[in-house]
A and B are shown apart, each in its own frame.
Chain A
Amino acid sequence: MESLDILSNLFGIQNVLAVVAGVLIGILIGMLPGLTANLGVALLLPVTYGLEPTSALLLLVSVYTSAIYGGSFPAILINAPGTSASAATALDGYVLTQKGEFNTAIRVSTFASVFGGIVSGFALLFIAPPLSLISLKFGPAQYFMLAIFGLTIIGTLSTGNFVKGLLAGAIGLFLSTIGSDLDSGYPRFTFGFSGLLSGVNFVPAVIGLFSFSQALILSEEPNKTIQVKKIKTDTWKFLPKLIETQKVFFNCCISSIIGVLVGILPGAGGDIASWVSYNEAKRFSKNKIEFGRGSIKGIAASECANNAVTGSALIPLLTLGIPGSTTAAILLGALLIHGLLPGRELFTTNGNITYSVIWGFIFANLFMGFVGLFVAKYFGKIAKIPNYFLAPAIIVLSVVGSYAIGNNIQDVYTMAIFGLVGYLMRKLNYPPAPLILGLILGPIAETGFRQSQILAKESVIVYILNNNISLILFVLTVVSILSAIYLEISQKVNYEKNIS
């Protein structure tokens, strides 16, 4: 792929605007406690319909990485992590704020986030293309096993609610079977509604489950506003000091490697990476006692790792179609909407788009740092937006977004119904992410299975497992299930120990 083609594509006016808008929206969403990267990407998904694929994906990945970074602001300034990935940041960040050194905490967090984001961008650039070669060896049997392996991610996405997660995933799989049968065209579970013949539309379901349901949750406490101490900004220093960067540089290197490795693992997201990285930074520190008492190394470890996840979570997504995180699952939907199939083609035929998006992702991380440092001054005002305004705003955006998908009012009703389902799922401790995974991976699993049935001369199971890739995927599936069960049991045991 010609570098000049990619550069000219990336720096087209629409693409630059997409990155700028994505970064601004992402930071804003991350800053507001209660709003997540998932919500941001889900809300903007319909907006991307009218955009070129490159701009669309740039907008979404910019929102993704910036929202994770934006989550560090409330963690540091009010001890309320904007996203779960920033929970470890609050440990040291808030202590620094209490000492009046919030400016230092924000500078270090910004440096570390940008560092982690850029490293993960380069990991995506160098690891994804060779890995995508594997997808060339995929046939129906391998795709079936891949979908099954993808579904076992449910276990890691729903730690603490393993069976509920599996149930949500199975319901997602079931919903994917609604509509005309792929082969015979026979209407399945349509109950006479012609609108269901084309199946359950993925995008309204995502908007409903992640955005509309969040608005319903926010409406439970409409007058809730966050009390933010007045921040003195007259002595605000924007650029990270050399001594600070020197102090955290080694931590950032280690944390970004941890973040990249955790991100590649399907289902393991930014929260796991930031805690693992924080613990490792503490373990290798000569001055362990400073952790939890305002250590800039602690902030750097957590923030660097959670942003290092964002790029590497796209590696299994772009190469094999396995989302590395919940947000990546929504991004998979965005790829499919724009007619882009994960696999080798993304790096050959559609290479101009893919490489532009990867370079744009790196550029977005740099830009995110500049914007973040300037916007931080106004955090107090942004965080004070009350729920009674946020909730109806999200509802209106969800309605108009789901309508924009196909100028179809039925999509809006679908979105609202999934919104209520999402709300009830959250209240009943059913994670919504597995339902979306089931909805996406269901058709891949069914198509692979039915094609294998046709191709198999004897037993379909023998046919599916009679090759190395399927066998490896089968072993990974078993390991994934067993590790999820182990995590579930160990968590329960720890919980019971704490109770006793």
Chain B
Amino acid sequence: MNRIKSNIIVSCIFLSISLILFFYAKDYPGTSKNFPITIIFLIIILSVGQILISIYRFKNIQQQNFEIKIIPIIIFFLSFLFIFLMKYLNFFGSFGLFFLLWIYLFKVKDKKLFLIGSLILFISIYFIFEFGLKVSLINREFLG
């Protein structure tokens, strides 16, 4: 996508959200609304400023393109899914599966080394968090 287009689209999104939040915040009681409303106004002014700058001043940026790759977005949603699964499989079960899926997704060549590295990582996490920091990653409360 063209950078100038993305700047305008993002600023418009900020502007729209700020306007919604402004109408939401204006009914807050007493002085509790003053600071948020001031900040919302600031966001509105800066969003408009960013739109104007994108259009009029930095025309040379028009030539720059950028792309958001799909892989990081997939990784984000997968992480979200495995965070959710922690409730049922506990941390090690869930992220063990995540690592196995990772091998498949990225066609990891040196699978043996990857698995040994993962095992060392998980064992270190277990000992540091279970015994060092007293944070249980496998107990029943965690299983929900």
Contact = CB atoms under 8 A, between A and B. Distances in A.
Interface of A: 47, 49-50, 163-164, 166-167, 170-171, 173-174, 177, 181, 183-184, 186, 188-189, 212, 215-217, 219-220, 222-223, 388-389, 391-393, 395-397, 399-400, 403-404, 407, 409, 412-413, 416, 419-420, 423-424, 427-429, 442, 445-446, 449-450, 453, 492, 495-496, 499
B62 interface: no
Contacts of B3: 429
Interface in B91-144: 91, 95, 98-99, 102, 106, 108, 114, 117-118, 121-122, 125, 128-129, 132-137, 141-142
Contact of A174 (B39, B72, B83, B125): B39
B35 A163 contact: no
B118 to A, nearest CB: 8
B19 interface: no
A416 B137 CA distance: 18
Given A50-B132, A188-B32, A395-B79, 4 more contacts: A173-B39, A189-B21, A409-B87, A427-B68
Given A391-B75, A403-B137, A413 B83 contact: yes
Between B42, B50, B79, the greatest number of chain A beta carbons within 10 A of the residue's beta carbon is seen for: B79
20 contacts: A167-B46, A174-B21, A174-B36, A174-B40, A184-B30, A215-B75, A217-B72, A220-B72, A388-B114, A392-B99, A393-B121, A396-B98, A404-B133, A409-B83, A423-B76, A424-B68, A428-B6, A445-B35, A450-B35, A496-B60
A225 to B, nearest CB: 11
B95 A184 contact: no
A219 B68 contact: no
Between A173, A395, A495, the greatest number of chain B beta carbons within 10 A of the residue's beta carbon is seen for: A395
A427 B66 contact: yes
A14 B83 CA distance: 32
A251 to B, nearest CB: 38
A427 B10 CA distance: 12
Interface string B63-85: 00010110111011001100100
Given A47-B133, A423-B76, A392 B28 contact: no
Given A174-B36, A428-B10, A416 B50 contact: no
A167 B13 CA distance: 12
- Measured as residues with beta carbon below 8 angstroms from the partner, the interface class of chain B is 35 or more
Nearest to A447: B35
6 nearest A-B pairs in the assembled complex, by CB-CB distance: A50-B133, A216-B72, A181-B32, A177-B36, A446-B35, A222-B106
Between A167, A184, A412, the greatest number of chain B beta carbons within 10 A of the residue's beta carbon is seen for: A167
Contact of B39 (A177, A181, A223): A177
A400 B137 contact: yes
A389 B129 CA distance: 21
A212 B75 CA distance: 10
Contact of A416 (B40, B80, B118): B80
Contacts of B72: 216-217, 219-220, 423
Contacts of A404: 129, 133, 135
Between A167, A392, A399, the greatest number of chain B beta carbons within 10 A of the residue's beta carbon is seen for: A392
Given A189-B21, A189-B25, A220 B30 contact: no
B86 interface: yes
Contacts of A220: 69, 71-72
B21 to A, nearest CB: 7
Contact of A186 (B28, B121, B135): B28
Contacts of B142: 407
A186 B34 CA distance: 13
B36 A189 contact: yes
B31 to A, nearest CB: 6
Given A220-B72, A400-B91, A183 B32 contact: yes
A453 B31 CA distance: 10
Nearest to B113: A389
A338 to B, nearest CB: 14
A399 B31 contact: no
Contacts of A495: 60
B135 A416 contact: no
Nearest to A212: B79
A184 B29 contact: yes
A459 to B, nearest CB: 15
A403 B30 CA distance: 36
B43 interface: yes
Contacts of A188: 25, 28, 32, 36
Nearest to B18: A174
B49 A163 contact: yes
A174 B36 CA distance: 6
A249 to B, nearest CB: 41
B134 A167 contact: no
Contact of A492 (B58, B98, B133, B134): B58
Contacts of B136: 407
Between A49, A217, A400, A495, the greatest number of chain B beta carbons within 10 A of the residue's beta carbon is seen for: A400
A184 to B, nearest CB: 5
A214 B39 CA distance: 29
Given A404-B133, A409-B86, A167 B76 contact: no
Contacts of B53: 163
B76 A419 contact: yes
Contacts of A212: 79
